[in-house]
Structure 1
Amino acid sequence: MASGAAPRHGGPPPRNIPRPGRSLAVFALIGAALMAAVDEIVFHQILHWHHFFDRSTPGVGLLSDGLLHTAEVIALVAGGALYADLRRSGSLSPPHARAGFLLGLGGFQLFDGIVDHKLLRVHQIRYGVDVTPYDWAWNGAGLLLLLAGAVLAVRARRRTGGGGAGA
């Protein structure tokens, strides 16, 4: 083995080599956590439209909001630490990070709109009104964010010549 070369087995990845898959994943986590925060702060706290879990007492609704808030803060802190590691090692891939951020934003919003609102019915966007326009707006915006992230991910992959999930 040449001097200074990293062993091929185990050990940390080489420094200053972009890691597209990790950059995408870290920023997807940050994007999902940020969208959860926006949802929780705007719709749960400011507008009082719903709680994360509305199928019980108001106390359980508040508890569920607190648990959602805890999860989003943990995800933001973890994402920030992982981002710092990417920066410190010189392995951040900005095009993949941008794609991941939009994928995370849209992925959370679409998951919430389809799974939480429609399949599990843990809450609706708003009560006492026809939810159809709210559903279209919420899910449409989530789909647009997801599609924009997918377009950026394809462009980033083409620009860098690959970059699978393990890269």
Structure 2
Amino acid sequence: MKTTTMGAFLFGVGMIGMLDGIVFHQILQWHSVNMHTDRVHQIISDGVFHLFVTLIIFVAGILLWKGNPQDSPRTFWGSFLLGAGSFNLLEGIVNHHLLQLHHVKPGAQQFLFDLSYDVVALLLLVTGWIVRRRTTSA
């Protein structure tokens, strides 16, 4: 796998993880990584999550820096969207459905919120795949 492709993929993973943490954990305060504990441990679990996605963004930056500047912008954006969609789908299936560590918005209609999250992940994946496919066919 090309350095630019992997860097952009990881950048997508890190950025969507950061957006998840900022929007759902901090601004809306709908959930934390581990909802089934006290507030102090919820904040710690969110901090560990943010540290993890920050490290992913750091590694992505190094890979992108080492990547080929001649690579198509479609290579970057397609890989970025594939990374973001992969993170959201994996996180949604594992944390929301299988382990039930948390839900997008607990309470009434939590399944619809979780399902909507999964649909957005699939849209990111399909869009990224289309963009990448156009890169390879051009």
What's 1:52 paired with?
33
Q: 2:116 aligns with which of 137, 156, 162?
A: 137
Report the Cα offset of residue 155 of structure 1.
1.7
| CA shift digits 1:57-92 (9 cap, x unpaired) | 2222111100010011111122112212225xx453
**Aligned Cα root-mean-square deviation (Å):** 1.6
Report the Cα offset of residue 28 of structure 1.
0.7
What's 2:24 paired with?
43
Q: Which runs of 5+ in 2 are unaligned?
A: none
Report the Cα offset of residue 56 of structure 1.
2.1
Is the contact made by 1:99 and 1:153 (CA closer than 8 Å) also made in structure 2? Answer: yes
**Aligned letter for 1:27?**
A
3-state DSSP of counterpart to 2:109: coil
Larger mean CA deviation between 100-109 and 71-80 belongs to 71-80
1: CA distance between counterparts of 2:65 and 2:78?
18
2: CA distance between counterparts of 1:132 and 1:121?
11
TM-score by length of 1: 0.76
Is the contact made by 1:24 and 1:98 (CA closer than 8 Å) also made in structure 2? Answer: no
Q: Which runs of 5+ in 1 are unaligned?
A: 1-19, 160-167
Identify the structure with the greater helix proportion. 2
Mapping 1:77-116, distance limit 5 Å? 77-86=58-67, 90=69, 92-116=71-95
The alignment of Structure 1 onto Structure 2 pairs a total of residues equal to 138
2: CA distance between counterparts of 1:120 and 1:60?
18
What's 1:9 paired with?
none
**Aligned letter for 2:36?**
R
Report the Cα offset of residue 33 of structure 1.
0.4
**Aligned letter for 2:19?**
V
Q: 2:125 aligns with which of 128, 135, 146?
A: 146
Identity %: 30
Is the contact made by 1:23 and 1:94 (CA closer than 8 Å) also made in structure 2? Answer: no
Is the contact made by 1:31 and 1:101 (CA closer than 8 Å) also made in structure 2? Answer: yes
2: CA distance between counterparts of 1:26 and 1:112?
20
**Aligned letter for 2:90?**
F
Report which of the two structures shows the higher radius of gyration computed on alpha carbons. 1
2: CA distance between counterparts of 1:40 and 1:101?
18
